[in-house]
């Protein structure tokens, strides 16, 4: 009798759950049972290609008694009328690829990246191992995509897939687990006239990537369902984070906009305020503007420059890099209008002015292209303006190509008033540049040496030095100021110190092996000072270091002619500050976020005998020359914050990496060979940061 009572309760609960699921699905803007071809549902589905319906669901994860559709390079077409207006959408698809291939469209209203309404898809994304499942959409602030590898699931089983946007984030779920997510305060979703397709997508008017496999159900809501509703749709007790999901850590020292990414920075100091103008990685890239008095807390100010004018005009698409200067009480922005639709030329150096650094007026009559005598009218962009005291003139340096040879150069232009410019001979570079465009140049003087910082080949930010402003600029012993994770770094002077900032690249799919994205988080601002033989040295500004004011662990260790090892549990996010005595035969390995295996976490390795250091993980190694004085202790500071690691050696060398794959673990510091000793090692966190 008791058994019958329990079975009755279980049956009642199952029926209640089924009714709740039916209610949620019944409230969708569209819901199709694909096993019968979506009969009786709206919009009506049209079948294209070989589709069998009414088949019994089979295979791992099959729903008992369910009927499914089998597609062979085929798709369902729901027409063009279905969409979600506003800033929320959720799409659901129950699907199976019996062969585990996962290389086709799934549930889409696409058209192109510039106009995609939504797109749930499978494909082999670049720089990721194997196939991926992704969800993308386009909003009024641009395109956003998130994905997870098929290797994270059983590739031949049935799966419930959900793509969701709620105005604050984009999520991709599978079988009740959040597999990938991306913060995105992107506003309203872009509308298009493309058809909603199940098993195909449109690409610039063509229907492509037809699906082969099985589908059971699909639905679309013009809202974001609650977790409870999602769990009902996916027949789960609750929605839980997937194994790789970690909420983005809000770093106290790294600025990032709420939507899009922070790209090329344009620093400018004025009357006690540190201004950072930056390119925001959105559609029609604008110039954004933030300011701070302490290089830690940033106030967002009105957008400085926006795309406007004719669609095929110089300002009809992107506002790219330039610089800010002041002359006779007027502030000047010289920037790059970048638009391949402009028949006069893709890049045009353009002008805007302001009396308060907030409201800017464009002056299209002042813009210009390469003159065809000194410089070609291509790759003519990224103007940097500074005052040349020796000539009593403004100089503008910009990346360009020689008019005759088409070889990349750093162009020079001269002006008496910061408005009218004469194109002149380029900077002398020894050796000349390679084929990469020398982006985002910055020229400045420390003591008697001129320094040139630029970012050729979209690789690293590099440095050169010269005794005269016109050159020749030679390559320092260590050419790069950091790893390829830091890019497009530029500098400002506050009357006492030079301060540089750039952006730390996002990586595709928020994984360590992902492809390099344009933009990310602002780096820790760094003081710049002169080292020997034309070198520039870099150290974190003390304002950022001071944020980490609470010591949670202190250690030391000594060894002679052997191996020294420290190991400590650490918070997930912290600053490591240590001093290590080592001789030329020693090797130091600082292993951050070490898990159970040696291939977990991240290594900062110092090899004094080889004059080399590197930062590395399972999917990357960034190494370069770094000189050490074995008579002095080596100082190491490592900011380990969310997906960002920035390390500084001897207040001179910076080594940065992304750290998506391992967000927690122990810290070990090992020294082998020679005489070694850890003089002090502290782990600090912010006392005011409740998330630590």
How many CA within 13 A on the CB side of residue 513? 10
**Cα pseudo-dihedral 505, 509, 515, 520, rounded to 10:** -10
**Model confidence over 573-609: pLDDT tens digits?**
999 999 998 888 889 999 999 998 878 999 999 999 9
pLDDT at position 583 is 86
Q: What angle do CA 136, 87, 187 make, to 5 degrees?
A: 85
pLDDT at position 560 is 64
Residue 228 to residue 236: CA distance in whole angstroms: 9
pLDDT over threshold 90, residue 562: no
The CATH fold of domain 263-544: Tachylectin-2; Chain A (2.115.10)
pLDDT over threshold 90, residue 522: yes
pLDDT at position 301 is 98
User: Which are the contacts of 504, defined by CB distance < 8 A and separation ≥ 6?
Assistant: 254, 485, 486, 520, 521, 522, 523, 644, 646, 656, 658
What's the predicted TM-score (pTM) here? Answer: 0.88
**Confidence band, pLDDT 50/70/90 cuts, at residue 4:** very low
**Model confidence over 125-142: pLDDT tens digits?**
876 778 999 999 999 888
Phi, then psi, of 572 in degrees rounded to 5? -65, -30
Boundaries of CATH 2.60.120.560 in the chain? 548-685
pLDDT over threshold 60, residue 12: no
**Confidence band, pLDDT 50/70/90 cuts, at residue 245:** confident
pLDDT at position 509 is 78
pLDDT over threshold 60, residue 60: yes
pLDDT at position 5 is 42
pLDDT at position 675 is 78
Q: What is the mean pLDDT of residues 201-220?
A: 97
pLDDT over threshold 70, residue 14: no
Q: What is the mean pLDDT of residues 50-70?
A: 96
User: Rounded mean pLDDT of the chain?
Assistant: 93
Q: What is the mean pLDDT of residues 481-486?
A: 97
Name residue, tokens 């110190």.
Answer: 497
| Window from 28-42, 190-204, 673-687 with minimum mean pLDDT | 673-687
Q: What is the mean pLDDT of residues 308-326?
A: 96
pLDDT over threshold 60, residue 411: yes
Q: What angle do CA 86, 91, 94 make, to 5 degrees?
A: 175
pLDDT over threshold 90, residue 18: no
| Window from 11-15, 203-207, 234-238, 545-549 with minimum mean pLDDT | 11-15
Q: What angle do CA 440, 442, 443 make, to 5 degrees?
A: 155
Q: Look up residue 403 and give its two tokens.
A: 């008019």
CATH 3.30.70.2860 correct for 548-685: no
**Confidence band, pLDDT 50/70/90 cuts, at residue 690:** very low
Other Cβ atoms less than 10 A from the Cβ of 358: the count is: 12
**Confidence band, pLDDT 50/70/90 cuts, at residue 221:** very high
Q: Where are the beta strands (DSSP E) in 175-317?
A: 177-183, 197-198, 201-203, 206-208, 211-221, 240-241, 262-270, 273-280, 287-292, 299-305
Cα separations in angstroms, 520 against 227, 259, 481, 563: 29, 11, 18, 39
Boundaries of CATH 2.115.10.20 in the chain? 263-544
Q: 651-668 in b/e burial notation, b at 16+ Cβ within 10 A?
A: ebbbbbbbbbbbbebebb
Residue 60 to residue 97: CA distance in whole angstroms: 11
**Confidence band, pLDDT 50/70/90 cuts, at residue 282:** confident
pLDDT at position 597 is 80
Q: Number of helices (H) and strands (E), helices first, in the chain?
A: 3, 50
Which is more confident, 557 or 528? 528
Residue 70 to residue 10: CA distance in whole angstroms: 33
Alpha helices in 27-81 (DSSP H): none
DSSP single-letter state for residue 398: E
Judge residue 515's burial from the number of C-beta atoms within 10 Å of its C-beta, 0-12 exposed, 13-18 middle, 19 or more buried: middle
pLDDT at position 259 is 85
Which is more confident, 436 or 198? 198
Residue 282 to residue 261: CA distance in whole angstroms: 7
Q: Where are the beta strands (DSSP E) in 306-392?
A: 318-327, 330-338, 347-354, 361-362, 381-388
Boundaries of CATH 2.60.120.200 in the chain? 25-241
Q: What angle do CA 538, 543, 547 make, to 5 degrees?
A: 115
pLDDT over threshold 60, residue 691: no
CATH 3.40.50.1100 correct for 25-241: no
pLDDT at position 456 is 86
């Amino acid at each position: 009798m008791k058994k019958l009572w329990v079975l009755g309760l279980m049956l009642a609960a199952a029926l209640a759950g089924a009714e709740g699921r039916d209610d949620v699905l019944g409230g969708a803007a569209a819901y199709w049972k694909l096993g019968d071809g979506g009969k009786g549902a709206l919009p009506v589905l049209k079948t294209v290609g070989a589709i069998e319906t009414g088949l019994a669901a089979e295979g791992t994860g099959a729903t008992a008694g369910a009927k499914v559709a089998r597609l062979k390079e085929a798709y369902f077409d729901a027409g063009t009328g279905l969409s979600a207006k506003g800033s929320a959408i959720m799409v659901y698809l129950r699907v199976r690829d019996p062969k585990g291939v996962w290389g086709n469209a799934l549930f889409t209203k696409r058209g192109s990246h510039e106009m995609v309404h939504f797109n749930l898809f499978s494909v082999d994304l670049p720089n990721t191992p194997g196939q991926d499942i992704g969800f993308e959409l386009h909003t009024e602030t641009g395109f956003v995509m998130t994905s997870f590898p098929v290797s994270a699931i059983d590739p031949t089983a049935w799966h419930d897939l959900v793509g969701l946007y709620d105005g604050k984030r984009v999520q991709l779920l599978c079988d009740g687990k959040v597999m990938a997510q991306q913060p995105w305060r992107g506003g309203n979703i872009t509308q298009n006239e493309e058809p909603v397709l199940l098993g195909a997508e449109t690409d610039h008017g063509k229907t492509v990537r037809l699906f082969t496999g099985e589908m059971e159900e699909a639905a679309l809501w013009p809202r974001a369902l609650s977790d409870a509703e999602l769990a009902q749709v996916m027949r789960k007790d609750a929605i839980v984070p997937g194994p790789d999901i970690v909420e983005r850590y809000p770093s106290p020292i790294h600025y990032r906009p709420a939507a899009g990414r922070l790209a090329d920075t344009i620093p400018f100091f004025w009357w006690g305020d540190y201004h950072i103008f930056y390119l925001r990685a959105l559609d029609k890239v604008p110039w954004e503007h933030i300011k701070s008095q302490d290089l830690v807390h940033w106030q967002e100010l009105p957008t400085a420059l926006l795309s406007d004018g004719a669609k095929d005009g110089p300002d009809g698409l992107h506002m790219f890099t330039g610089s800010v200067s002041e002359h006779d009480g007027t502030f000047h922005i010289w920037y790059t209008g970048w638009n391949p639709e402009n028949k006069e030329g893709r890049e045009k150096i353009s002008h805007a002015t302001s009396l308060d650094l907030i409201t800017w007026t464009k002056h299209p009559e002042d813009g210009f292209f390469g003159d065809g005598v000194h410089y070609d009218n291509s790759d003519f962009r990224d103007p940097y303006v500074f005052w040349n005291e020796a000539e009593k003139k403004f100089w503008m340096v910009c990346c360009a190509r020689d008019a005759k040879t088409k070889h990349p150069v750093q162009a020079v232009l001269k002006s008496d008033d910061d408005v009218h410019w004469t194109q002149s001979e380029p900077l002398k570079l020894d050796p000349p540049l390679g084929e990469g465009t020398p982006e985002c140049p910055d020229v400045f003087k420390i003591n008697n040496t001129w320094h040139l910082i630029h970012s050729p080949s979209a690789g690293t930010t590099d440095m050169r030095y010269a005794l005269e402003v016109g050159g020749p600029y030679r390559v320092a012993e260590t050419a790069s100021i950091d790893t390829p994770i830091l890019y497009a770094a530029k500098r400002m002077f506050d009357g006492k110190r030079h301060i540089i900032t750039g952006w730390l690249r996002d990586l595709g799919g928020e994984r360590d092996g992902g492809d390099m994205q344009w933009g990310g988080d602002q780096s820790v601002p760094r003081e710049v000072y002169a080292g020997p033989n034309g070198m520039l040295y870099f150290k974190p500004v003390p304002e950022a270091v001071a944020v980490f004011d609470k010591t949670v662990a202190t250690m030391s260790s000594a060894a002679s002619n052997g191996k020294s090892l420290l190991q400590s549990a650490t918070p997930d996010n912290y600053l490591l500050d240590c001093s290590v005595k080592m001789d030329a035969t020693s090797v130091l390995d600082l292993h951050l976020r070490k898990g159970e295996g040696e291939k977990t976490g991240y290594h900062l390795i110092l090899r004094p005998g080889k004059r080399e250091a590197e930062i590395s993980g399972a999917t990357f190694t960034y190494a370069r020359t770094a000189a050490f004085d074995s008579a002095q202790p080596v100082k190491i500071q490592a900011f380990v914050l969310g997906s960002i690691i920035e390390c500084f050696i001897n207040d001179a060398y910076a080594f940065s990496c992304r750290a998506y794959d391992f967000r927690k673990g122990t810290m070990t510091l090992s020294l082998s060979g020679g005489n070694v000793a850890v003089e002090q090692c502290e782990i600090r966190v912010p006392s005011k940061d409740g998330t630590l």
